[in-house]
Structure 1
Amino acid sequence: MRSIFAFSFLAAMLAPVAPATAATAPQLAITSFEQLARPLPLPYDEQADATRQVAVAKARARASKKLLLIDLGGNWCLDCRILAGVMDTPQLKSFIDRHYVVVTVDVGRFDKNLAIPAHYGLKDRLAGVPSLLIVDPRADRLRNAGKTAALADARSMTPQGLADWLAGWAK
């Protein structure tokens, strides 16, 4: 009996952190980051009015009944650029376009546009980048609280692992 309890407890601890209504990730054609197009993307516009861009993206997400994905990072960050490259693959881009409205926000060296994560409860220094905020635009609430920096070491994952994580929050 004790071993059943221990197994149940362990299974609950290892269960996916995403909602039970998660979408199924597409199977990516690439298996390694070496297969990404080069040069890797520079996804963050350092001159953008990030507050305005987030507001516009939130309105689009609300109108289209999609989630808002706020990608916080910097062009200096290899993990950010790897994530952007994976998100640009045809299979994942199509999936993301169906489920999310994406906006990229340059956070400089953790010294720019920090009011955006603060709005969603991340008032201390970001735990790393990329930090992804998955937001329900109707309630303006963060869906992945406590998991925003899960991809900050993207290069330690696989392309499919990144796709699975993103799909885990989609509905």
Structure 2
Amino acid sequence: MFRSMTAALAAVALTAAGGLAQAATAPAMSIQSFSQLKLPLPYPYEEKADANAQVAAAMASAKAHHKLLMIDLGGNWCGDCRVLAATMDLPELKAFVDKHYEVVSVDVGRFDKNLQVPAHYGITQRLEGVPALLIVDPRGDKLLDGGHVAALADARHMTPQALADWLAQWTK
């Protein structure tokens, strides 16, 4: 009994310190299929933007508002990137994302520009696909989803709810 109570108190202490925090629950999505998204799908990437300045501004905002930083790496040519952007624009997911994340979209062209952004987080090999999401804790500029950054590169073959659930897993 004493051991289980000690373990429970340790878990509470770790949770309070940010060690075992429970992820937020993803919102219930209003659509069952991406075919229900409003067309045309958005073009979310500013091709001539200063990616370094955008990421720095988003990082500062994430810190100030106690949110995670989501760096969305992709290109307007990418169907999965456009599906992700349209899904994140749905009111229920937009409210969730706005509550938990500061989002910045970075154009990586055809895997030939702004690659200093993923390199900053140790991703120096060619991206495995896009969209590639870097979920960053701005308090230590630490990548949280290492090994999973290309998980949504085949987003159109997921369900909208699975996409929302994936985004929710990184939150606390």
TM-score normalised according to structure 1 size? 0.88
CA displacement at 1:121 relative to structure 2:
0.7
Q: Distance in 1 between matches of 2:134 and 2:47?
A: 19
- Show the counterpart of 2:50: 49
**1:40 is aligned to 2:41:** yes
How many residue pairs match? The answer is: 153
- Show the counterpart of 1:122: 123
CA displacement at 1:51 relative to structure 2:
0.5
- Show the counterpart of 2:31: 30
**Matches for 1:38-77 after TM superposition, within 5 Å:** 38-77=39-78
- Show the counterpart of 2:81: 80
Query: Matched residue of 2:118: which SS?
Result: helix
Q: Distance in 2 between matches of 1:46 and 1:21?
A: 36
Write out per-residue CA displacement over residues 17-73 of structure 1, whole angstroms, 9 at most, x where no aligned residue: xx7621100001111111111100100000100100000000000010000000000
Q: Which amino acid aligns with 1:52?
A: A
Percent of aligned pairs with the same residue?
67
Query: Matched residue of 1:169: which SS?
Result: coil
Q: Distance in 1 between matches of 2:121 and 2:91?
A: 30
Query: Matched residue of 2:105: which SS?
Result: strand
Q: Distance in 2 between matches of 1:39 and 1:147?
A: 28
TM-score normalised according to structure 2 size? 0.88
**1:105 is aligned to 2:106:** yes
Query: Any stretches of 5+ residues in structure 2 without a counterpart?
Result: 1-19
Q: Which amino acid aligns with 2:145?
A: N
- Show the counterpart of 2:159: 158
Poorly superposed stretches of 4+, deviation over 6 Å: none
Query: Matched residue of 1:71: which SS?
Result: strand
